[in-house]
């Protein structure tokens, strides 16, 4: 006799492991060398960067994207970016912050954190910095550090992940430039 209950449970588990991961680089921010910002974490979005991210947010809405979780670096420029997007998508309650998205962190720490999420989200938006985002995309798509991306400020990337792990587990579906996002808004 077939055990349909077990089969259904396995199917749910399999599908729960699949996810879409969207990566958004923060908008245009104050210059790193500015005397006003000796602390890199305190660099804020420029007014031009705020406008840029509002257009990105409108483009996300036009694409009918919804996220179970928006996870952002706590550094000010990324936090401001995430807050603008969350507000534009009416998703402020889904916004969380994690130091695992800071620029010099190891992507494996973030992957470990995402693996522990219960329930497993189907769609996540990660808001962060370079070189972290490119290192994460490279690890998930190639299993190593050899993929080099031009991830512009305000750029958006989509990965389709079969089962999240710190190895080759994702397909790069697209990488949009800020100009492409602007034309979609």
**Contact predicate 4/12, CB 8 Å:** no
Q: What is the tens place of the pLDDT at every residue in 13-46?
A: 333 368 999 999 999 998 876 656 667 788 899 9
The strand pairing partners of 20, in sequence order, are 123, 160
Hey, what domains does the chain have and what are their CATH numbers? 18-184 (3.40.50.1240)
State the DSSP code for 95.
E
pLDDT in the model for residue 15 = 35
Structure-token match 């995402």, residue found: 114
pLDDT in the model for residue 177 = 93
Half-sphere exposure of 77 (CA within 13 A, CB side): 29
* Exposed / middle / buried, residue 62 (Cβ in 10 Å: 0-12, 13-18, 19+): exposed
pLDDT in the model for residue 3 = 34
CA 2 to chain centre: 41
Count H helices, E strands: the chain?
A: 6, 6
pLDDT at residue 121 tops 90: yes
Which band of pLDDT confidence, cut at 50, 70 and 90, is reported for residue 77? very high
pLDDT in the model for residue 18 = 85
Mean pLDDT, the chain, rounded, equals 88
**Contact predicate 54/80, CB 8 Å:** no
pLDDT in the model for residue 58 = 95
Q: What is the tens place of the pLDDT at every residue in 85-113?
A: 999 999 999 999 999 999 999 999 999 99
Tokens matching residue 108 = 């494996």
CA 183 to chain centre: 21
pLDDT in the model for residue 12 = 33
Which band of pLDDT confidence, cut at 50, 70 and 90, is reported for residue 9? very low
Considering only CA atoms, which of 76, 69, 56 is closest in space to residue 155? Answer: 56
Q: What is the tens place of the pLDDT at every residue in 46-74?
A: 999 999 999 999 999 999 999 999 999 99
Q: What are phi and psi of 152, to 5 degrees?
A: -70, 155
Give the rounded percent of residues in the chain with a pLDDT score beyond 90.
75
pLDDT in the model for residue 6 = 37
CA distance 106 to 95: 22
């Amino acid at each position: 006799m077939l055990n349909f209950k077990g089969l259904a449970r396995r199917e749910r588990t399999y599908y729960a492991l699949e996810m879409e991961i969207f990566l958004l680089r923060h908008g245009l921010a104050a210059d790193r060398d500015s005397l006003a910002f000796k602390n890199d974490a305190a660099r804020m979005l420029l007014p031009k960067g705020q406008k840029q991210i509002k257009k990105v947010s409108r483009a996300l809405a036009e694409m009918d994207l919804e996220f179970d979780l928006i996870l952002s670096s706590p550094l000010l420029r990324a936090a401001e970016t995430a807050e603008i997007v969350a507000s534009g998508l009416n998703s402020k309650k889904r916004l969380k912050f994690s130091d695992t998205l800071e620029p010099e962190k190891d992507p494996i720490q973030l992957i470990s954190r995402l693996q522990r999420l219960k329930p497993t989200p189907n769609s996540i938006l990660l808001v962060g910095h370079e070189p972290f985002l490119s290192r994460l995309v490279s690890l998930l798509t190639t299993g190593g550090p050899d993929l080099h991306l031009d991830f512009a400020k305000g750029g958006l990337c989509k990965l389709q992940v079969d089962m999240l792990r710190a190895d080759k587990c994702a397909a790069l579906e697209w990488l949009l430039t800020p100009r492409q996002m602007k034309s979609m808004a």
